[in-house]
Amino acid sequence: MIPAVDASLMGMTTTATAGQYADVNGLRLYYEVHGQGRPLVLLHGGLQTIDLSFRDLIPLLSGSHRIIGVEMQGHGRTADVEREPTYPDMADDVVALLDHLGLERADVLGFSLGGIVALQLGMRHPERVDRLVLAATHYRPEGYHDLSDPASVRMPTDAEFAEMRQEYERVAPDPDHFDAFAERLNVLVHGHPGWAPEELRGIEAPVLLVIGDTDFVRIEHAAEMLELIPHAQLAVLPATRHTEVVQETDVLVPVMTRFLGRS
């Protein structure tokens, strides 16, 4: 049974609720709510927070959507726990949060790591997802360009890495855990074999794929995902690196608004 709706979701304010925690699956999962309208869950990139990934998007979407920003295991204000980070567990955490909030279904926007979790969510819990926006997301390791050259223009800049660390140290329950968690996350990201094409063919939700033309994700790989997922669309943002995909709001917001809109 879906529990009663969280009182904060019933308000008409367009300002954020205070940061809140839900006790789910052994985590104190941090989330915050902005705006009103159809629920839209935001899942951030690896080693980022709600604010780092979505600070530019939230003000532009909260007038028409009830934004539910989530900080996943080990990220931001959500402490790490002993369980190894896995995509199924992180997807299950999102479902448990929906239960906590009394929401049967929601749209989901996932960026990078959050996009992979959103993809897992769409395959593992199709009954809980309306529409998926997968930003800078691949489904198999070969979907990435070769990033072994640290000077690659596709890589995050030193300033972007520094901002991730600084934000973690500012808000995390254990500010000294950044390097240890980054290593755990590295094992997850580089050790995951991906999914079979048949699993993508089984995705029921409409999907909007968004990548940058200078992304980690190869354009050919995104085009392959477009062909595999039954109800998919693809947008390639010009002059955009991986870390910039959710920052290019002048292009991204109109595309998302059209995709998420209902007749």
Query: Rounded to whole angstroms, how far apart are CA atoms 72 and 45?
Result: 10
Query: Rounded to whole angstroms, how far apart are CA atoms 207 and 110?
Result: 11
* Domains of the chain, first to last: 17-146+153-260 (3.40.50.1820)
Chain centroid to CA 256: 14
- pLDDT band per the 50, 70, 90 thresholds, residue 148: confident
Residue 153's pLDDT is what? 85
First to last CA, the chain: 30
Contact 139, 119 (CB under 8 A): yes
Q: Look at residues 65, 124, 66, 136 and name the one whose alpha carbon lies nearest to residue 90.
A: 124
Q: Look at residues 2, 1, 30 and name the one whose alpha carbon lies nearest to residue 16.
A: 30
Each residue of 61-118: pLDDT tens digit?
999 999 999 999 999 999 999 999 999 999 999 999 999 999 999 999 999 999 999 9
pTM: 0.92
Each residue of 23-51: pLDDT tens digit?
999 999 999 999 999 999 999 999 999 99
Q: Look at residues 207, 50, 225, 31 and name the one whose alpha carbon lies nearest to residue 130.
A: 207
